[in-house]
Amino acid sequence: MKGLRKSPWLLLAAFILALLFRLYSLQVDPDPRVRSQAGSQYWARLRVTAPRGIIRDRNGIALAISAPTLSFFIDPTLWDPGNAPLLQDLIPRSRLERISGSIGGRYYPIARKVDPPISDRVINLRLPGLFWVKETKRVYPQGNTLSHVLGFCDIDDRGLAGAELFWDSVLYAPPEGRIIAKDARGDFVDVAIPGLTMTADNDSLVQLTIDSRLQHILERRLREGVLQHKAEWAAAVLLEPSTGMILGMASLPDFDPNDRNTFADKESLRNNAISRVFEPGSTLKPIIMANLIDNGEVSQSTTVNCQGKIRVADVTIHDIKAHGRMNPTSIIADSCNIGMVTCVRNSDPFRTYSFLRRCGFGDLTGVEMPGEESGLMIPPSQWRGSVPATISIGHGIGVTPLQLAVATSSIANGGKIMKPFIVSEIRSRGGALKYQGRPVVVSELLSARTAQWMRDAMRLAVEKGTGRSADVPGAKVAGKTGTAQVPGSGGYLKGDYTPSFVGFWPFNDPKFLLLVVIGNPRAGDFLGGKVAAPVFRSIVQDIEQIS
């Protein structure tokens, strides 16, 4: 009797226990299939594209940035070809023709990386079967400016040239998955509505040492010079001689990394500042002469007689005129070929070769950019006949503009070869410092006394010598002109010249060093003092006004 009375409670307790057990099994330890199905109702894993990191100049101005865009595709099973004409102004014509007819499958892309004004118009059409995904597009807000240094990316945001290629491992962030919530109707409770992807953040940074304002001056004045002299190419390098920090680097012809049509001309893609090898001509003379003075082969009291031409082995080397009695200072100031050839006549080729290698010629400078050339240096065992003489006047040796600028910096900074650097710092995703550009002394090339002496000689070249048209009153420019012939198959090409000017200012404590090279001017003038020096002067004038 008592058991019967208790039984309802026992049954209730058993029922509750069973219920609790079931609740426990469902809530705490469900069947994996149930867990998976329930999860799919609440959560979804989506493919997320991350933008590339930013490239900035030394003042923090963005030079390359990723901006959000939309890529459109259609699902042919839901698409009405009759709607195609509505997109005629918004997508490429070939794609438009394709979607005007029947298409198989479930996915057909119609436009990639469409910018907001147009993409908004496409979305507002609300066409059935038209879908879109979010992507980022690489944008270069300054257009052609610094295009060779920055480089460009492919359609999938992988770096193909310049800093974009060199630092691709830092800038590029691969697509990743992200779990996002869905509401009771199965819609995404997140930003992707109704697209299928969204973007992740990427705070990686490449900060260059380039100053946008100086770069603009460099490019503008160089372009004016190229147009005026109808030159085929040009390059300019501006750096801080005491540290090797590159403040500007220009190359013409150039391209607009935002416009792929400008990539068609292969010459425009070449960075002439680091990838063009040319014979420097007389701009090499100060470096050679400094070596002779440092070695004691030439002193300030040495004199030579310039008669306008000299026979060396099987070659006759000419000068513009017979300069008469010359000392080392006037040889540099008047750019006397005969004086240089006479001075190096007894030099040891192996010693000169070793010196030129210590200058950095024949080696990569190590600047943080792809595509750098090492130049051309004949080994001293092959320096026969007139080769040592021609090298002393900057022929028979191939250098890049950056190599020449770095070597001349040693005169400006007291005798040190500095490793050039164009990257200030690199921060990987998350903000960790990955690389920092610092001044690095590669070698002690010249004594401070010789460097000082050569600075004075180069100042004289600008005040009274061949570089007078580079002088800027008040700026105290020191420099050297150069006019080199262009080698071709079987000899030097007639009518082809490479005028150049390398200089620094103020000459007694240089803050800037600038090299200007103009390739193959066709307008008549071809001398460095007539073609490159005026461009140099105009750049110095502009820089002095803002610095």
Partner 1 sequence: MNSYTLELPCGNDIRTRGRGTTWILLCGAIVALLMGLVALRLYSLDLEYQLADIQRQIVLREEEQSRLEKDLAGLLNPTRVYSYARSELGMKASSNIGLVKVAAVSTGAPVDQEENRAGSGVIRKALVWLADSVSKKASARQ
Site residues (vs partner 1, CB under 8 A): 5-6, 9, 12-13, 16, 20, 23, 27, 51, 54, 61-63, 65-68, 116, 136, 139, 141-145, 180-181, 183, 189-191, 198-199, 201, 212-213, 215-217, 220, 472-475, 541, 544-545
Helix (H) or strand (E) holding 274: helix 272-275
Min dist CB 42 to partner 1, Å, is 8
- Closer to partner 1 by Cβ: residue 209 or 408: 209
Strands 478-488, 491-505: pairing is antiparallel
Min dist CB 30 to partner 1, Å, is 14
Min dist CB 21 to partner 1, Å, is 13
HSE of 362 in the Cβ direction (CA atoms, 13 Å)?
13
Min dist CB 248 to partner 1, Å, is 11
SS3 of residue 142 by DSSP = coil
Strands 205-208, 54-56: pairing is parallel
Task: Say whether the peptide bond before residue 194 is cis (omega within 30 degrees of 0).
Answer: yes
Phi/psi region, residue 143 (left: phi>0; alpha: psi -120 to 50; beta: rest), is left
- Closer to partner 1 by Cβ: residue 307 or 547: 547
- Closer to partner 1 by Cβ: residue 66 or 207: 66
- Closer to partner 1 by Cβ: residue 29 or 314: 29
Tell me 523's DSSP state: S
- Closer to partner 1 by Cβ: residue 155 or 189: 189
Min dist CB 139 to partner 1, Å, is 5
Cβ-contact 140, 161 below 8 angstroms: no
CB-CB neighbours of 348 under 10 Å: 14
Cβ-contact 513, 223 below 8 angstroms: no
Min dist CB 496 to partner 1, Å, is 31
Min dist CB 197 to partner 1, Å, is 11
SS3 of residue 305 by DSSP = strand
- Closer to partner 1 by Cβ: residue 262 or 390: 262
Min dist CB 175 to partner 1, Å, is 15
Classify burial at 542, counting beta carbons within 10 Å of its beta carbon; exposed 0-12, middle 13-18, buried 19 or more.
middle
- Closer to partner 1 by Cβ: residue 101 or 430: 430
Phi/psi region, residue 267 (left: phi>0; alpha: psi -120 to 50; beta: rest), is alpha
Task: Give the pair of three-digit tokens for residue 523.
Answer: 């307008």
Handedness of CA 72, 144, 423, 542 (dihedral sign): negative
- Closer to partner 1 by Cβ: residue 54 or 502: 54
The C-alpha angle with vertex 317 and arms to 311 and 323, in degrees rounded to 5, equals 100
Cα–Cα distances (Å) from 272 to 254, 259, 371, in that order, read: 10, 20, 10
